[in-house]
Chain A
């Protein structure tokens, strides 16, 4: 891999930028791999990268039905934060947020990590108490958060309606200064390029059609490009986890629903932080292009269609106009949906499947993007060692039977 640098840029400028090599190969699948990862989204690619980088497992293929990063990786609102209430979640998401800090340097790919700060508004007394509880919990877990009084909220984000007459007044906010955003596509591309450089085969346009299990153990997968044998199989297919599990002959505590987001027409810079307004049910940040990136709640029913319901868009936008009156005349430019998989406690599942040799990483619900590097990090350790590491262990599928729920029903800071 030729490194990207200012010198490479200058050198390639001499040849009119015609000499750049492909960022990753387009290999045909080999007949056998040590590990096959299904799903070349951010999490799958990060898993492959850390398998090769941290564990020396380089005979790895990442198989993707469509194109790399074309699922939820490219459909989220790119928010990164780790201000979670539960200890297990704080460990996982703070690991991830920490990895984002120097990920551009590690991957030699600019993922545009922007720790601009994430603010969760408290707009009811109840919410204020709940967020203060989260504040204390995160501080005990070593995650840096601060309480922002209403005056600080207004100085952090002047476009917020702080009128005392507002239907939902600003009572303060939970401020995580090192939270922020990153370029979602670049995260997938960066991991793909770095993994490819370490010998991982990223195979696109290759749909998995079946999982071969012999004597209770996985031996390979059937794909649209033929059979591929493997010793271990990692399933990282958010939105379609139940479909893959069905192929392998087990069930998941998951339901697939649609989550949508939208962006406005581009306007001049007006907010330089991420604001999440839980009570009015919406969150917003401004992209580098000037568009306001808006997210809301998930549609409340099983859905595999990657389309959201119009009335949820209406709900989200109506709610945000209340808190950000300046957006009332903005036109919305684009809207899209992704299929996310929901677990009963709104926390992910990372660990072993009921079939020997199969590992699952799924159930990220509405908040998986922020976890991309951390998820790949601990899932790679789990696959390499055959047992979950300390971060992944609490997220086993067995927690549902054992009653060890990791209750994060506010995972996206909005009700699901």
Chain B
């Protein structure tokens, strides 16, 4: 059982999250070769040890995260927002929505 430190919501049980797979995949251009697409779609490093992966806090804030997790020990060393700048925007919005005393 994992506990994922969502940067928006804090530490949450992994049952709240959906797995999005390897975050190191670089998607080729639409007109790239078949080989490039086969590599990106099916072939994976599948490392035994540190793994950079995508999780979506589906039953929480619904935002995508990039999580650094060890596939043997399950230790999570970091969890970042998958979209840069999103964290600031969400924080700014929530501050704007907070009613003043």
Contacts and interface: CB of A to CB of B under 8 A. Distances in A.
B44 A301 contact: no
Nearest to B55: A301
Interface in A222-269: 240, 242-243, 246, 251-256
B44 A254 contact: yes
B76 to A, nearest CB: 12
A33 B74 CA distance: 39
A304 B47 CA distance: 9
A2 interface: no
A309 B48 contact: no
B44 A242 contact: yes
| Chain B interface size range | 20 to 34
Interface in B4-44: 13-15, 18-19, 21-22, 34-35, 38-39, 41-44
Interface in B38-59: 38-39, 41-48, 51, 53
Contacts of B14: 309
Given A309-B1, A309-B14, A304 B34 contact: no
Contacts of A246: 45
B53 A301 contact: yes
A303 B72 CA distance: 6
B77 interface: no
Contacts of A341: 46
Nearest to A305: B72
Contacts of B35: 401
Contact of A300 (B1, B19, B34): B19
A305 B74 CA distance: 8
A343 B35 CA distance: 17
Given A242-B47, A256-B48, A309-B14, 9 more contacts: A240-B48, A253-B43, A255-B46, A256-B71, A301-B19, A304-B72, A311-B15, A343-B42, A400-B43
Interface pairs A-B: 7 shortest CB-CB: A242-B46, A253-B42, A301-B19, A401-B38, A400-B42, A304-B48, A251-B43
18 contacts: A240-B48, A242-B46, A253-B43, A254-B44, A255-B21, A256-B48, A300-B19, A302-B22, A303-B74, A304-B48, A304-B72, A305-B72, A305-B74, A309-B14, A344-B41, A400-B42, A400-B43, A401-B34
Interface of A: 240, 242-243, 246, 251-256, 300-305, 309-311, 341, 343-344, 400-401
